[in-house]
Structure 1
């Protein structure tokens, strides 16, 4: 992926290097907007629902210094975010006849707070619809490569694109509608809807990949396979199996490895929002 020296997004909130430890009050869960908070940080096989549903404020405690690798990762994320902004602005205008409002991406190192609760490296990247911000500890890219076996810069770009895809869903009103229904269902039924939300985000990520390839010409040979591999590595069945557990479909919240990679490719091959309607199909 050719990203060095390219335009960076201004919608980056870099909290890395901050050493404050004051408590920041976060709004309590209330109304459709906050009830709709997704568990998007399941990449490590950890259910972070308690973090995203916390009523209290989180503490911002940053102690680790920002390294040269951290700075390079921040630049990479900023370039990738800029690409998502251009792609979704054009897709919204061409396919929906409306404007796209970009998300803000918060970079942190260690621990930070959000209106959806605390965020840490263990929680993984996530999107908070309450403030329309995505949260990312760039150390996750190391975890993605070394622990999950999904290396490559385009695998990392897929992670960013997936979180921004949740913002796209939020802009379209999908999150509020889907999670309003989720709140009325059993845990297993709610999880089933969460899977459809996540697979749609994978499909939207595929649209981004296709449009980025066409608009910027920055995708190298092998990049697409890196993203497909990342999608497979973070499937619920693979994560649970690697954690020494027998895969339990009723507990899945993001979809299987096969589903995640297949829906990503569906978006890539079609480049159409209509093709990403995971809610109307019977079989995922």
Structure 2
């Protein structure tokens, strides 16, 4: 079975609109580079990616998948693993929305807070569409068959990428919710467990191998953290801003570095 590990830099459909100052573009690229670096170094990115590499290098993919499918480590009742994975995928959207509603940057006024929330939702929508397109591309490039025999559709897991994008945004939003730190840690831990349950249910359902779901988790977390770092994280006065503007019959996203 052909195995190719693909680490891709997420190119969102942003159209960079520069300001008049000549050094603005270089500053914007500095922001992009810093955001990408921190997203790649986040434990929720390199941890699953490293685990996927370890599983593949050890030749354990088939053994773990077969054992999970046989023994149903997660699901032993009437609910099938595939049904569970679909239920978990549907659950992450309301979880994210709740985190977005509760989150408010500490220094933001009412109008600024609403603008931040709108950008939060818009950016999640971009990540959802972008992760779907990227997953399709990586599946074709990896040339990896699913355990159930479906060709060229295994790596990475689209279900897990989708879930990870939402839970990553929710975890980041929790940093802007006024709550007890212990409760925040507990909530973030629960979101990590949700990611793990989604991944394991896909393996038990014979839809993916462990490396597939781990890479889906890594890529999904990278995309979400990168965009959150760049556009939603609290920064100083020199910040990157997201704008949604009409163009022709559709819309475009613009990135500006404002002073």
More helix by share: 2
The two structures have a TM-score, normalised by structure 2, of 0.31
* Structure having the higher Rg: 2
TM-score by length of 1: 0.29
Higher relative contact order (CA closer than 8 Å, sequence separation 6+): 2
